[in-house]
Amino acid sequence: MLDVRDLTMQFGGLKAVDGVTLQVHPGEVVSVIGPNGAGKTTVFNCISGFYQPTGGEVYFQNRAMHRLPGYRIAQAGMVRTFQNVRLFKEMTVIENLLVAQHMHAERNLLKGLFKTPGYRRSEKALMQHAGDWLERVGLLEFANREAGNLAYGQQRRLEIARCMVARPRLLMLDEPAAGLNPNETRDLDDLIVSLTRDEGISVLLIEHDMSLVMGISDHIYVVNQGQPLADGSPKDIRRNDAVIKAYLGEE
Ligand SMILES: Nc1ncnc2c1ncn2[C@@H]1O[C@H](COP(=O)(O)OP(=O)(O)OP(=O)(O)O)[C@@H](O)[C@H]1O
- Ordered by where they begin, the domains of the chain are 1-77+168-251 (3.40.50.300), 89-167 (no CATH)
| Residue 241 confidence (pLDDT) above 80 | yes
Residues with CB under 6 A from ligand 1: 11, 14, 16, 34, 36-42
Query: pTM of the predicted model, to two decimals?
Result: 0.90
Residues 195-217: tens digit of each pLDDT: 999 999 999 999 999 999 999 99
Average pLDDT over residues 16-30: 97
- How buried is 50 (Cβ within 10 angstroms: 0-12 exposed, 13-18 middle, 19+ buried)? middle
Q: Is 174 helix (H, G, I), strand (E, B) or coil?
A: strand
26 alpha carbon, distance to own chain's centre: 15
Side-by-side strand order, sheet with 78-80: 78-80, 170-174, 202-206, 29-33, 219-224, 227-232
Residues 67-113: tens digit of each pLDDT: 999 989 999 999 999 888 889 999 999 999 998 887 555 556 666 66
Ligand 1 atom 24: the closest Cα is on which residue? 36
Q: What is the mean pLDDT of the chain?
A: 91
209 alpha carbon, distance to own chain's centre: 16
224 - beta bridge partners? Answer: 227
- Nearest-atom number in ligand 1 for the CA of 9 is 12
* Confidence (pLDDT) at 211: 92
CB 14 within 8 A of CB 197: no
Strands (DSSP E) found in 133-196: 170-174
Q: How many CA atoms, within 13 angstroms, populate the side-chain half-sphere of residue 34? A: 23
Ligand 1: distance of its center to the CA of 128 in Å? 39
